[in-house]
Amino acid sequence: MEKRILVTGAGGFIAHHLVKYLKSRGEWVRAVDILEPEFEVTQADDFNKLDLRLWDSCVTAVEGVEEVYHLAADMGGIGYITAFHADIARNNVLMNTHMLEASRQAKVKNFFYSSSACVYPDYRQSEPTIEGLKEEEAYPAAPEEGYGWEKLFTEKLCQYYAEDYGLETRVARFHNVYGPLGTYDGGKEKAPAAICRKIASSHNKDEIEVWGDGKQTRSFMYIDDCVEGIYRLMQSKHREPLNLGTDVMVSVNELVDIVADVAEKEIHKRYDLSKPQGVRGRNSDNTKLAEYLDWTPTINLKDGLEITYKWINQQVANSRINS
């Protein structure tokens, strides 16, 4: 029997893919966002344009649903989240607190919250060759300013709603999700999409700008693995925050080289040390992910980037034709 499910943030990248995934499983899905998806028509049974910073919008969104996947957020790449601390923290705290309380009042059975690896302390990420971050290492707290703090606060709020009201909450800490149908320009794009766009816009042997010195490291998770992990976590009994990412760490320089290889272009790098680059090293420890979900991401970075680059390359080509 199909469930009645709400997905918030469904005009955005991850939640749009999640709607498609849930529909492929035969579920009834209401999608909510302030904007409709940019690149593809939603498959949701019901799409509502709502501003979830407003209490009445959250009440409307949860009406008649059994499960909530709350992915709505004011967010973007490192350039965006380091420039707008007040806006990001205010907007997200309003959405998160209203959605939790509206879900409680509507007697929603299960509530998923999309957190972030930005909750981890900067003192654990000061070198590019770090070990994977374990979930318990989020404390003592020193998360990323603005975005990281509001994510960590909402993790605790989910815990309190579970303890005080019995709302079954699930929390995933995303580690750098990428793939097609995501933002690739305009300032909110993340590193894989930005690099794909820059290389797609370049000719063979051109030079592209790299933020920082290129030695900062990250792990990257393809979108199909992300939505699979979200669903598996929601079906599990695990109530504590859980890493959701790959444990394969690469430098930004290596990321550029992989995309250049996919594009079959020789690309040179020009470093801009004045641009934000975030922490020096970040990687996911997937020990608990494997233990509690009996699963870890399976799509390797080059395979995922081939799909992502092909899509972004087509968008760049289309914009040239239409300009």
| SS3 category, 292 | helix
For the record, the structure tokens of 310 come out as: 């092909």
Confidence of residue 323 (pLDDT cuts 50, 70, 90): low
**β-sheet bridge partners, residue 251:** 217
For the record, the structure tokens of 283 come out as: 């990687």
Q: For residue range 125-160, list pLDDT tens digits in order.
A: 988 888 899 999 999 999 999 999 999 999 999 999
Asked if pLDDT for residue 2 goes beyond 80, the answer is: no
CB 2 within 8 A of CB 28: yes
For the record, the structure tokens of 208 come out as: 């592209």
Active site residue 139: no
**DSSP class of 202:** S
Amino acid at residue number 4: R
Q: For residue range 166-218, list pLDDT tens digits in order.
A: 999 999 999 999 999 999 998 889 899 999 999 999 999 999 999 999 999 99
* Second CATH level (architecture) for the domain 4-177+221-244: 3-Layer(aba) Sandwich (3.40)
Which CATH number applies to 183-218+248-283+299-322: 1.10.3720.10, 1.20.58.1610, 3.40.50.150, 3.90.25.10?
A: 3.90.25.10
Residue 116 has phi, psi (to 5 degrees) of -150, 155
Choose the catalytic residue: 147, 161, 178, 231: 147
Q: Return the beta strands (E) in 73-160 as ranges.
A: 110-116
Q: For residue range 80-124, list pLDDT tens digits in order.
A: 898 999 999 999 999 999 999 999 999 999 999 999 999 999 999
Mean pLDDT of 22-31: 97
| Residue 205: Cβ within 10 Å count | 9
Q: For residue range 251-286, list pLDDT tens digits in order.
A: 999 999 999 999 999 999 999 999 988 899 999 999
Q: Could you tell me the residue ranges of all domains in the chain?
A: 4-177+221-244, 183-218+248-283+299-322
Q: What pLDDT score was predicted for residue 78? A: 85
- Long-range CB pairs of 267-271, under 8 A, 24+ apart, other chains included: 267/199, 267/202, 267/205, 267/206, 267/207, 267/208, 268/205, 268/206, 268/207, 268/208, 269/207, 269/208, 269/210, 269/214, 270/207, 270/208, 270/209, 270/210, 271/209, 271/210, 271/212, 271/213, 271/214
The model's pTM: 0.95
